[in-house]
Structure 1
Amino acid sequence: MFTAGLLLPERAQIPVAGASRADWNPRTFWYEPWGASGVHKGIDIFAPTGRPVVSATAGIVVFRGELKLGGQVVAVLGPKWRIHYYAHLSSFADKPWLVASGTPIGAVGSSGNAVGKSPHLHYTVLSLIPLPWLATRQTQGWRRMFYLDPGALLTEPA
């Protein structure tokens, strides 16, 4: 089963309906300083409040709820044993725990530590398997072996 998860193909689509690469700044991944977290471990895709957020990949919803910093969040376990984390949502979609790529999972918002800021989706891709070649000497660089640059993985929806 473990090997099967690694062999599954991964094609991640942009997780905000109607968004393009122009809707986020690719230089913000691992940018510092970034508030309480020190470095920014994802990208922020800006869109109007209520715009649908879709699962970037097929997978299993492993968490849907409220967190202090992320506000309303959804986490999806996708191919290659990667967690796709969607934060600052304004609402959740009432969907099953098994999702296909493009399945609505929520809506863009400003919840958690984004209250009062421009509405956006904070999107992070976290590897459950350490990738030591990604570690750096930057601030929190050892953690880089668990975080992938989400912007580099995303493709336009089919």
Structure 2
Amino acid sequence: MQKFIFVILILAVLLFGHSPSTTLAKEDAAQKRKALYLKTAAITHIPWYYLAAIDQYERNVRFSRSTLPDPKGLQGIYVEPRRWVGALNPNSKTSNPTLITLFNGFGKDGDGDGKADQDNPEDVLYAMAAYLMPYGVTEDDLKIALWNYYHQDKSVAIILEFAHMFKHFNTTDLSGHAFPIPRNYRTDYQATWGDRRGWGGIRIHEGTDLFAHYGTPVRATSYGVVELIGWNEYGGWRIGIRDPQNIYHYYAHLNGYAKGIKKDTIVRPGQIIGYVGSSGYGPKGTQGKFPPHLHYGMYKYNGITEYSFDPYPHLRAWQRQR
């Protein structure tokens, strides 16, 4: 019997890329985080999905910067210790909320235990909500508050996209993926990220080319929000989608878009977003300068810059799952 269970677990890992216990652990963590967002929202009247979006953004940024604390637990938001207690506070490690308030520190007591503990997810989330509250609870109010906190338009825009996704799906557990070409359509591709490209100047190829027939459906590989759509002289008719992990998915050389796909559209894995073509390498409408294919790129934003990375290993994993 134990051997049979072991075989089932191995098959699950091979088919789905992770064990059932890992999936359950992720779902449990997502549920605990949402419970924390809902509790803080009830106290502060800041909608839970904005709190979740800030927390997720911070989690993504921390994951990209190995010098910051481990982002895998409940707590995503990170506040510099000196800012937490107050810049002029003589006691840099205090958790006394009265003393912290006296020195205009960021820290708050969220769970009512008499401490403003920077390692307590409830205290940290409540402290962020307390920062937002004076600005108001509408999206325009929160947009101002977030800009004053991050001083980056891109950070604010990404957080709002996350909030829209979480509100739309009513969950923060949006980690599924799909291969961009449906199972019953033929496609060929190789690891081409980093190859040399010459049109428009010497540059590297920031993606993987999936060759397929004209009109082959192209699917969203993740949950996300359409950030960009339209013509680009390099990519032709292209779509850019931001997912909840701060990854920007770039689909280029399309022949057209699926009905209803436009800027700010929220998509799910496997949803048809467009069709394979050969557009690009010229002014708007240029077609046929190369064989039809989907150029698929992945970019990560770490809070400072956005950088390309090789999508090929991800494509191979998603293809095995479809």
Q: Which amino acid aligns with 1:115?
A: G
- Which 5+ residue runs of structure 1 have no aligned equivalent? 132-142
1:127 correspondence with 2:300: yes
Q: Matches of 2:175 and 2:310 in 1, distance apart?
A: 14
Change over 3 Å in CA distance of 1:130–1:43 after alignment to 2: farther
What's the offset of the Cα at 1:129? 1.4
1:32 correspondence with 2:196: yes
TM-score scaled by length of structure 2: 0.41
Partner SS, residue 73 of structure 1: strand
1:7-64 per-position Cα deviation (integer Å, ceiling 9, x unaligned): 76644322122367x71111x1011244335110001000000000010101111111
* Equivalent position of 1:140 in the other structure: none
Larger strand proportion, structure 1 or 2?
1
TM-score scaled by length of structure 1: 0.79
1:48-104 per-position Cα deviation (integer Å, ceiling 9, x unaligned): 000000101011111111111111001111131111000000010013501000000
Q: Is the 8 A contact 2:188 2:211 kept in 1?
A: yes
Change over 3 Å in CA distance of 1:9–1:81 after alignment to 2: same
* Equivalent position of 1:69 in the other structure: 234
1:151 correspondence with 2:312: yes
Partner SS, residue 110 of structure 1: coil
* Equivalent position of 1:103 in the other structure: 271
Q: Which range moves more in the overlay, 118-127 or 35-44?
A: 35-44
- Root-mean-square deviation (CA), in Å? 2.5
Q: Which has the higher contact order (CA 8 A, sep 6+)?
A: 1
Q: Which amino acid aligns with 2:242?
A: L
Q: Matches of 2:298 and 2:55 in 1, distance apart?
A: 19
Q: Which amino acid aligns with 2:291?
A: S
Q: Is the 8 A contact 2:180 2:220 kept in 1?
A: yes
Q: Is the 8 A contact 1:16 1:121 kept in 2?
A: no
Return the match for 1:54 from 219, 234, 237: 219
Q: Matches of 1:23 and 1:46 in 2, distance apart?
A: 5
What's the offset of the Cα at 1:130? 6.7
* Equivalent position of 1:94 in the other structure: 259
Q: Matches of 1:47 and 1:88 in 2, distance apart?
A: 12
* Equivalent position of 2:284 in the other structure: none
Larger helix proportion, structure 1 or 2?
2
* Equivalent position of 2:289 in the other structure: 116
* Equivalent position of 2:34 in the other structure: none
Q: Is the 8 A contact 1:15 1:102 kept in 2?
A: yes
* Equivalent position of 1:3 in the other structure: 55
Q: Which range moves more in the overlay, 113-122 or 44-53?
A: 113-122
Q: Is the 8 A contact 2:174 2:223 kept in 1?
A: no
Q: Is the 8 A contact 1:23 1:46 kept in 2?
A: yes
Q: Which has the larger radius of gyration?
A: 2
Q: Matches of 2:217 and 2:189 in 1, distance apart?
A: 16
